[in-house]
Amino acid sequence: MRGLRLPFRLLPSGRWSTTLVLTLLVIAFGRSMDAQNTPLISGGIGFFTDTSAGQTTYLPIIEPLLAAPLGPRVLIESRAVLLETFAPNGDGAPGYNHSHFIGLTYLQGDVTLTSHITVVAGSYLIPFNTYNDRLSPIWIGNFQRGPLIANLGTESTGTGTGGMLSGSAVSRNKYSLSYNAYFSSLVNNSYFQSRRSTGGRLNLFMPKQGLEVGFSYNRSLQGVQENFYGADVWWEPAYSGFQLRSEFASGRHAEGYWIETAYRTQAFGGFDSIVGRLEPVFRMQQTFRRDGAASDSLPPANTQIADFGLDYNLPHNTRILASYSREFASTGNFNIWQTGIVYRFLTPVRKGK
């Protein structure tokens, strides 16, 4: 399924229940926290439709996120996904095919060692460029589909299992520099499938200009060992309602980029007016295949997609996403129509004192 990027694995229901038990234990630990440290459940619940080359699928989806502090320095956090895909039976047959996924996207513990170092252990989102760990939740992305290059540099699964150092190296009023460095081991069990790899990311942010520049590196350490390089540039001038986001990623066999712009006007009563809640978005993406040895999940032929979207930011943390895309490739050109509605929830696990 190319509709929604799914960086997770299918879990057998018995093991899923084990995970739920672990989650409840985490919540129980959280009960000892003071008032502001109450564990929370957040996430998004949505319903999407996708019509690609005339084939329509319907996708109800829930992405819950748990964050539970354990003492002043440790935070356990996890995100999961539950979805069902419906598609009409082909050849004029009545009824729908359907399939489901239940999986953990990540489950990690964050230990704050010093003001500049946080140790992340467990199954974590690989910090390569910006999409995987910052834009992939359904309540954040401006488009229902992730970019084509999202799997470059993220070991296809999007997650690593092992350890990561992360933090703010320097923070000044004019600029800040942050970093991530990780090592992932090979894990083949149902919970945390990941590949042996290492890498890191360095980000420079200049708040006055609203400019962010990042560089990423990933090296796959098993099978065909391969280096991936990435760069990202974001420009979001303060109070303008304008966003420019872009990424470039390159591997041995393929490379690509995407550029996305979004705009909300405050000229008609501010961002919360009827017009100000409208958000036109545009994304251009291209992938280039260097050879036929496909060790990644990029399309087998050079591909270009222009995405035109119109989002509406409703009150009460609800967004409507609508987009039209045209995909161009030597294997065939086709249209993609997508609609969706997403509600973002955020609530304490228990009532505070």
Partner 1 sequence: MIMNPKRILFSIALFSSSVALGQIATQTQPTPKQTNNSRPGAHVAQKQEDAGSRIFRQNCSRCHNAPEGFSPNISETVLRHMSVRASLSMREKAELLRFLNP
Binders of partner 1 in range 73-102 (CB under 8 A): 75, 77
Strand 40-52 relative to strand 197-206, pairing: unpaired
Give the binding range for partner 1 (CB under 8 A) out of 11-19, 46-54, 114-122, 186-194: 114-122
Rg (CA), the chain: 21
Select from 22, 27, 244, 320 the one that contacts partner 1 (CB under 8 A). Answer: 244
63 DSSP β-pair partners: 44
At 348, the amino acid letter reads P
- CA dist., res. 99 & res. 85, Å (int): 5
Tokens, residue 299:
């399309």
Select from 12, 71, 300, 348 the one that contacts partner 1 (CB under 8 A). Answer: 348
Are the C-beta atoms of residues 277 and 320 closer than 8 Å to each other?
A: no
Select from 242, 324, 337, 343 the one that contacts partner 1 (CB under 8 A). Answer: 242
Nearest distance from residue 86's CB to partner 1, in Å?
28
Please, what's the b/e burial string for 146-157 (b: 16 or more CB within 10 A of its CB; e: otherwise)? bbbbbbbbbbbb
Give the binding range for partner 1 (CB under 8 A) out of 8-16, 61-69, 80-88, 89-97: 61-69
Q: Which residue has the tokens 């996430």?
A: 43
Nearest to 148 by CA among 123, 129, 175: 129
How many residues are present in the chain?
353
Nearest distance from residue 273's CB to partner 1, in Å?
10
Give the binding range for partner 1 (CB under 8 A) out of 48-56, 178-186, 215-223, 289-297: 178-186
Nearest to 108 by CA among 76, 81, 80, 134: 76
Select from 5, 9, 196, 319 the one that contacts partner 1 (CB under 8 A). Answer: 319
Are the C-beta atoms of residues 134 and 150 closer than 8 Å to each other?
A: no
Interface with partner 1, residue 212, by CB under 8 A: yes
Smaller CB separation from partner 1, 53 or 346: 346
Interface with partner 1, residue 115, by CB under 8 A: yes
Interface with partner 1, residue 190, by CB under 8 A: no
Nearest distance from residue 195's CB to partner 1, in Å?
23
For the chain, the straight-line distance linking the first and the last C-alpha, in angstroms and rounded, comes to 46
Number of chain positions touching partner 1 (CB under 8 A):
73
Smaller CB separation from partner 1, 186 or 211: 211
Q: What does the per-residue mask of binding to partner 1 show for 124-153, with x meaning CB under 8 A? A: ---------xxx-x-xx-------------
Interface with partner 1, residue 116, by CB under 8 A: yes
At 103, the amino acid letter reads G
132 DSSP β-pair partners: none
Smaller CB separation from partner 1, 86 or 179: 179
DSSP alpha helix (H) spans, the chain: 13-30
Q: What does the per-residue mask of binding to partner 1 show for 19-38, with x meaning CB under 8 A? A: ----------------xxxx
Instruction: Write down the number of H helices and E strands in the chain.
Output: 1, 16
Smaller CB separation from partner 1, 37 or 185: 37
Interface with partner 1, residue 275, by CB under 8 A: no
